[in-house]
Every structure is written in C-alpha cells, then in structure tokens.
Structure 1
Amino acid sequence: MMSNTTQNPQKIKCINPATLEVFKEVEATDPKVVPSIVDAARSASKMWGNIPYRERAAYILRARQYLLSHIDEFARAITLDNGKPLVEALTAEIFPSADLMSYFANNGEGFLKSKDVDIDIWRLFGRKSSIEYVPLGVVGIISPWNYPFSIPVGTVVAALLAGNSVVLKPSSATAYVGKKIEEMFEAAGLPKHVFNHIAGSSEVGEALVNSRPDKIFFTGSTVVGTRIMEMCSKHLIPCNLELGGKDAMVVLNDAHIEHASSAAVWGAFTNAGQCCASIERVYVAKSVSEEFIEMVTKKTKTLRVGNGLDPSTDIGPLTTKTQLDIVKKQVEDAIKKGGKVLVGGRSLEEKGGWFYEPTVLTNLHYSSLCLREETFGPIMPIVVFEGEEEMLKLVNDTPYGLNCYIWSKDTKKAKRLARSMRAGTVCINECVYTHAIPATPWGGVGASGFGRTHGEIGFKEMLVPLHIHTNRITHFKDIWWYHYSEELYTRLKKITPHLSGRLTSKLMAIPGLISGIFKCRKI
C-alpha cells in the first residue's frame, strides 16, 4: 500500500504530501527485536502498575507541559507529515491531546476505585463481593495516519494511567509524528520500558501482535482491523478496534439551513475528508434541498486548497497517494453512473502534491461507490429524501456504524430519530468533533469495530475487572459441600424455588439453609 513514506530495513523516509519532498528519516524497528521489547515492557509494567496513581499522573502532566511548551514545533511536525492545515493540527490534534491528558490525570483515579456489589441474601451469611480494577499488563497500540498525534496519544495516556506499560506502533505513513510522541514521553522522564515506540511497516505491527501483549488497540481500516482480529484470536488476545465509517448527515425540513450548510462543508472537508467521522453522505429533506445545496455549493467554492503550512489554507493534500487514487475512482464512478458534479471533481497535480478539489455531488445512483464505500477524502455526496422512513432506511443502509448527525430545531424529534440510527455516537446540530471530548466514549458498531476509547468506559478498556468474594464466617460449612445424600437433595429441592425468587421469598429459604448446614454431614 503506497504512502507518504519509502522504506528500507533501516530507515523510513518521511515525505511531505504537499510537496512530495523528503523532510526527515526515521529509524525503522527490526521486527525480530519486537518480542524482546514486549518482554521488557511486561517486566516494567509490574513496577509501574504498583506506584501510586498521583505519581503516574505527574508523569503525564509533565508530558503535557512539554507539549504545550513546544506547540509550534509539534503543529509543524503534524502538518509536514500528515498535510492537514496548521489550524487543524492545533484544534484537532494538540488541544484534544492536552485536554485528555489533564482529564484522565484528574479523573482516572476515581475510575479505578473498587465497588461493592449487592449480592442479596448471601450478605446475611457473612459474604461480601467487590470489583477491583487491575491493569492488563502490556498494551499494544497500532495507530493510524489521519490523526497521527491525537488518536495514539489519547490511547497511550489512558493505558499508562491505568497502570499498564505501552508499546506504540504508529503508521509508517506518519512516522515523524510517531517520533515526536516518543520525544514527548521521554521528556516526561517515564521509567525505562514503560513507554516503548516501534516504527516500520505492517511486518512490525504483525510482530507486535505475535509478541502477545495483553491487549491490542487498533485504529484503521476495516480490512486491516479484520486481519488484526484474526491474528489476536490465534493467541486469545483481546482487541479493541476503531475502524472505518460512512457517516451520514441528515438535514430535516425544520433545520437551520445556513448553520447546517456550514457544518456540512466543514464536516465533509476537514482534514481533506480523512476522518473516521467525516460526513460522507448527506441526506436532505426535499422541501429545503434547493436552499441547502445552493448554500453548500457557494461555501465550498470559497475554500482554499494548498500547503498546510500556509496559515490561510483551508484544505491540505491527501496524506497518501492511495487515498488520492480512491477519491479519483469514486468521483469517476459517480459521474459514469449519472452523478452531477456541482463543485470540484478533479485532482490538482499542478500544486505539486496529492491535492484534490473539495467536491460536491448530486443526482447519484444508489450503487455509486461514494455512497457505498468509505471514501476518506474531500467528497460530499448529497441525496434528497421525502420522509422519515425513507431517510432512516438510507442512513442505516451501510455496514458501518460510527457516527450520525441530525440537523433539526426540534431536538425531541431528533433524539427520537437518533435512537433508530445504528451508530456509536449521534450528534444533534453538531458534527465530527466529539472525538475531542475526553469524557465521552468513542467507538462504533458493525464494520466500524467494537470497544471504546475515552471517558470512563474507554479507561476501563485498559483494565481487568477483578471480582473478590469474601466469606467472613468460616466456622460453618456450605450446605452444598461434600458429602451428598438423599436428605440433602430433598432439602435443596424444597428451598430452590425460594432462593431463585424475590428477596422476600429468599428470606423464607434461610431456615432451611441453616438447618441443612447443621443436619447434613459435611467433610
């Protein structure tokens, strides 16, 4: 798969997708040494998981401070490696990461607190149950190139604060950003082997999975995610998969059209459309469709495509040549099937990089690739609908289920519709950005994967729930212990209906249990 890097066994050449120039070389990791890196991480995890939470948090806050003290440097590195404009490097990568570091440092300790479990009648017999949360051990993270900083940093921080050691394998397409992440955590002074960075091709990622960490977190395509899951299954390693999306935006007839049209333009074209949560399908009510399409067309024409290092650039290049080719293919397919191009529709080779015009399409056949397959590029397909039933059928007609977006002034109606949409997140009068909210879970259903990151739910993906059950009365033997007898069977048969009923019914079983303990002989 072509990317903005070229590789040999020793070096990864990082290429700026806006200029196609090599700007940095990164040392590649030999796949053969990955097992020893995982082993070292496992040894380090035992120490790391036992230090007080506030000490772990202090390391993360030092990493945060280093990031904030070098904002321009990190923003430039992200733009050079990925292509997104500097503003997006700040708002979509650096700010969310700094916010998440602070959020988990301040709240994660509460997520780790043990919880008592109400075990009903068994409490009367001196029994107690609690759930404690213990670290997994070694967490392997394989991260993507579209958000090469914020996605891995968020997962790394949660894993470390939960008491795990980490082995991070960033995408080779944005290897330089991976090195900057390593630099940030090194500056925090983390103990040796607690955070580990490996770089290279898919062979390095496969070596990580086959080295049997305690869990794999993968963000990327559905095709590769399926392969990762297959590899994990061979070793019985659990995995968390955040995969592709084909997210739909719905514009109802009572929507604020001016607001919705601006959201559609940003949601479809931010990061050149290379976002798991990008608006890749727009369904607009017929009664407002002309006004909406006219506004979208007008606003899209004003967007400035160029090198992300230029502060006035709105849309940068595609990060990889592969993505540019996919965009070209989908637009050509749409046109061939009768689709109409309202804006854009061509690549911009004259700019010297992997650029493509922001493109708005209408009059689309339902089989068009831009409606059926993930695009990951600056295409906005617009489809007109007439009723709620038709709209919901169109929205859910996809194997993916990451995000959906509804525009309506009637939030009660919008919430009702949201519950019928197959997705991990549904936004009302908002789009795309919720990955940047550290307190809310992120993930999807279906071909968009399973498991969650962020929030308390995501934090607990980094932990093993340990059930501890205690019997504080040890001078009585349980009625179901050896030896068995006909008398025991008769007694148990009599009290079983009560034990499996309501609390009042269970209380009626207590005399039978107590007498059985004394009368049925136990070894």
Structure 2
Amino acid sequence: MTPPTLTPDLAERLAALVTGDPATTYTTTAVFTGGDLATLPRSTVADVHTAYERAARAQPAWADTPLAERLAVFDRFHSLLLRERDIVTDLIQAETGKARRDAFEEFCEPALVTSYYLRVAPRLLRARRRAGLLPGVIGARELRQPKGVVGIIAPWNYPLALSIGDLIPALIAGNAVVLKPDSQTPLSPLLGADLLYRAGLPDDLLQVVLGDGPVIGGAVVDTCDYLGFTGSSATGALIAERAGRRLVGCSLELGGKNPMVVLDDADLAHTARTAVRACFANAGQLCLSLERIYVHDSVLDRFTDAFVAETGRLRLAAGYDYGADMGSLTSQRALKTVAEHVDDARAKGATVLAGGQARPDLGPYFYEPTVLAGVTPDMRCHAEETFGPVVSLYPFADDDEAVALANQTPYGLNAGVFGRDRRRAAALGARLRVGTVNVNDGFTSAYGSTDAPMGGMGASGLGRRHGADGLLKYTEAQTIATQRFGALNPPRWLPYGLYAKVMTRSLRLLRRLRLR
C-alpha cells in the first residue's frame, strides 16, 4: 500500500539528496503491508566526514548573510510546506504506519516552528547592549554567533517533526546542518530538505546521511560542533559522554514514563476522552505519551468505566484517509516490546481491561490500545517505557500521594493533571519533576505552545526545543567590551594601595547609585 504521491521521479529526487554512494543502497519498509517502500543510498563513516566538510565550507557565507535574507528562505519554505501537505502526510504515513490525523499533526510542527522563529528570531539574535564595568567608560555588547555545523540525529516515531522542526532554528541561527534520520523513516525528512532547497537554501548547507545509528551515528557525534538528539535515554547518555570528551554541547530529548493525575473534582467525561488521545496518539509511540494514570480513589471506578468505553470506540485501520483513530506500530521490534510488556503483566496478575492483543488482520505491526489495572512493581510495564499503546491505572488517596507516585521514576518529560479547580491542578503540576505539565490536557497544550520551552528533566534529557532556548542553544554568546581609555590601569605615579582604596570607594558609590 504505497501512496500514489511517491512517484519514481520524487523517489529519485529524494535519493539524490543523500550523501553516499548511489550504488550502495538499502530498502525501507511500507509499514502498513510489510513490503518494500523505497530504495536509498546507504552512507558510510567516510560519507559523514564528507558531509561535514561540505557543510563546514558552506557555513561561513551563510552566517555572513543578513538575517533578513536568511529568514526569507524560511518564509518561502513555509509556503511550500503548506502547499505540499498531502505529499508530506502520505510519506509520514507510509514510513511510520501512523493514522493520517497523527501524520497531519506531525506535519503542523515544522510549520508552527518556522512561523514562530520567523517572528522572534530578529529579536533573539540581535546584538544587545550590556552594562560595562564602568558606566560611560567601558561599553559592552552581547553578540550571538552560530556554533558552526550542527548534527541532528532524528528518531523514527516523528521523523519530520523531530528532524526538520529541530534543524530550522539551527539554520536560522547561521549554522550548517548534518542530518541523520532514522534509516526506516528518511523519506519525510528528505522531502523537508528538498523543500528547503527549493525555497533557496544555499547548496551544501544541509547534508543528509543515512544508515544504522551504531555505524554512522558515532561519526556524526565525533565530527559536528553541536549535537541534537531525540531517542532513548541509554543512547542519549552515550552521546552526552562522547560529546563531553570533545567539549561539544548537546541537546537531548529522551525517554519518558509519563504520568497523568485525575483529581477528585475532574470532569470525568472530558478527562476520559482526552486521556484516550494522550495515551494512544501515534499508537503510543510518542515520547510525551501518558503511560501511567493515577486516579483519586473516590472517582476511580467511574473514570475507569468511562476510559475503557472511550478506548473501545477507537477505530484501528491502515489507510491514507482520516477514517482511522489509531494506526500501526512502526516495526516488528516495537510490536515485540509491547506484546512482551502486556504478556508479562498478564502473567503476573494484572487485569487487562481493554485490548491486549496484536491485530495481524489489519497489518503486520498492529496492536490494540490496551488498558491495564493491578500493575505491580515486579512487572516490566510498571517502570520501563513501553512506547506503545499500553497504559496502566493506579489509585491514590490524596494530592501528596499522587505527587509521590508520579515522581517515583528517573524520567521527567511530561505530565497531565486533570481537575475543575485549575489553580489546584496547576499547583500540583508544579510539584512534578517533569519538563512540561498540561492542565486538563495530555501533551498538545504544552508542546504546541512554541513560545514555551519543551524538554525533559532527569533521565528524560538535557536542553530544550521551542522558545528562546530552542534557537539560542545553537549559538555561542560573545561579549565585545570597548574601553574608551585606560581607566582600569592606575598611573605609574599612583601607589597601588591608594588606587585600591579609591576603587573600593568607587564600587561602594556605584552600588549606592544602583549603577553596578
């Protein structure tokens, strides 16, 4: 079931964007059927070095290009992206197996990010006057210089959003980029690169390499001047260690075992409907997905009934229309993990309230949305990230217990808190050790607020995307201080002890006048 928009001409154009030998290829999988999707060049470690060298040569001229001219490229890209919506969503679906509504939401991410940074980049990147050491004598300015060549290692679950959405601010800031998408999901990132070049991005500024992470991912880490990675916590720790040996910065958005808290005053009908989306969007293959739901004792039974009923209404299907509520898992590996977690929980005494079965009748990697109760710490799904359509329900007695239960994990990415008293819900959310909290929502409110930073605490990562941090992390702060005359050097005739007394009095006076 290959989308008709993936024509031979388009496939050839996308393959030409890969840095690698066209004679050395591999074939991606059409997830809905398990058949072949596209044949693309496979890059080597040497190709990564070539990509870096090309990008490094192109980067200085781009950094010297006035910001208004750089932004004009992204203004045109934004228009092209919206115009190509159907092709973009087709490719996302073909290589991930997600439902079309999930593909459309992914398509929106680079559009929103581009629009946001078009608006705020001039303010964030402009030179800023800073207070000098001595007012009127020493002046200081803060400049923002690009890092150089940024390496982006993108995951398979949101291949467009977490590649193009991350490299847009890197390019706007004046950097070049070496992008390594996941080898199963390169088509939508390649289409994003194609649209950027059609919008006027200078040649060689964006390099794409394809191949297995253990083979070429290390070369990206070992060559680039800054690293952006989205993926597992285990791999993120290795990247941080490897980058640290080179004193190179990195931004890491990693795993999560995200909690949801249902307070005793929650609107249960709204909460159940919203929870279904928060748990099962993209078949649960979302770093922000909620995998643990803590429900107040007094509403547990009513919420459970409503949530299980809403889960049962979800329509699973493979297709390039908007009829399905949930699509497929992306790989046999993902299916195996989900099935093992559910089978382990069932064998150790958990109750399956909904789902709990693979659906090969729909496609090779489909699995039903699954709700579990009675999950205990000895079960794998209690603490391990399932990264699939599986969620567990737990009771709690009061707000303090809810906070303690929600925080009993090394992860700290995302959470949802539901209650009619929004101040109470937000206050509880502020006690959770997570990077984003959504009151009366699962993940969309925080993630979609592109002016606000998004990222994780603890084992869920370092750094932030979106907001000011999402652009400035790709820059180095540089201070230029200008001294009008040698005021800081005492004249030869002045004893240094007397100079020290004069300077001490001057510092006291500056403090009183609030000048320093």
Same fold (TM over 0.5): yes
Cα separation, partners in 2 of 1:266 and 1:495, compared to 1, 3 Å: same
Distance 2:514 2:356 in 1: 71
Conserved? CA contact 1:500–1:506, under 8 Å: no
1:33 pairs, out of 10, 24, 47, with 47
1:104 shift after superposition: 1.1
- Output one character per residue of 1:426-471: Cα deviation in whole Å (capped at 9) or x when no partner: 1111121132332221111110001111111211111111111111
* Alignment RMSD: 2.2
1:448-506 deviation digits (Å, cap 9, x = unpaired): 001111111211111111111111234x4523x999x9x52465268648737971289
Contact residue 78 and residue 177 of structure 1 kept, 8 A: yes
Q: CA 1:256–1:506 in 2, change beyond 3 Å: closer, same or farther? A: closer
Query: CA offsets, 1:210-267, max 9 Å, x none?
Result: 22x2100001111111111122122221111111111111000011111111111110
Larger deviation: 158-167 or 97-106? 97-106
Q: Is the 8 A contact 2:55 2:204 kept in 1?
A: yes
Q: Deviations over 1:44-84 (max 9, x none)?
A: 11000111112111111222222222211111110000111
The match for 2:466 is 454
1:238 to 243, 249, 259: 249
When the two structures are superposed, what TM-score results if normalisation uses the length of structure 1? 0.90
| Counterpart secondary structure, 1:63 | helix
1:106 corresponds to 2:114: no
Contact 1:222 1:449 in 2 (8 A): yes
1:116 equivalent to 2:129? Answer yes
Question: Contact (CA 8 Å) 1:499, 1:506: kept in 2 or not?
Answer: no
Residues 423 and 477 (structure 1 numbering): CA distance in 2 closer, same or farther, change over 3 Å? closer
Q: After TM superposition, list the pairs within 5 Å mapping 1:52-451 onto structure 2.
A: 52-90=66-104, 92-119=105-132, 122-124=134-136, 126-202=137-213, 203-211=215-223, 213-433=224-444, 434-451=446-463
User: Who is 2:15 aligned against?
Assistant: none
SS for the counterpart of 2:387 is coil
What do the CA deviations read for 1:289-346 (whole angstroms, capped 9, x no partner)? 1111000111111111121424311111111211111111111221223211000111
Q: State the percentage of identical aligned residues.
A: 34
- Distance, in Å, in 1 between the alignment partners of 2:481 and 2:379 is 57
In structure 2, what is the Cα distance between the partners aligned to 1:493 and 1:471? 22
For residue 341 of structure 1, give the secondary structure of its aligned residue in structure 2.
strand
Task: State the Cα distance separating 1:184 from its structure 2 match.
Answer: 1.6
* Cα contact 2:318–2:363 (8 A) shared by 1: no
What residue in structure 1 maps to residue 511 of structure 2? 503
What is the distance in 2 between the residues matched to 1:426 and 1:116?
35
Q: In the alignment, what sits opposite 1:11?
A: 25
- Secondary structure in structure 2 of the residue aligned to 1:262: helix
Residues 1:488 and 2:496 are matched in the alignment: yes
- CA displacement at 1:179 relative to structure 2: 2.2
Structure 1: how far apart are the matches of 2:342 and 2:497? 73
Structure 1 residues 473 and 69: alpha-carbon distance in aligned structure 2, compared to 1, 3 A threshold: same
Counting matched residue pairs gives 493
**Contiguous gaps of at least 5 residues in structure 1:** 1-7, 510-523
Higher alpha-carbon Rg = 1
* TM score, norm. by length of structure 2: 0.91
Q: Could you tell me how far apart the structure 1 residues matched to 2:322 and 2:425 are?
A: 37
SS in 1 for 2:27: strand
| 1:111-159 superposed Cα distances (whole Å, 9 cap, x missing partner) | 111222234x6215x0122211111111110001111111111111101
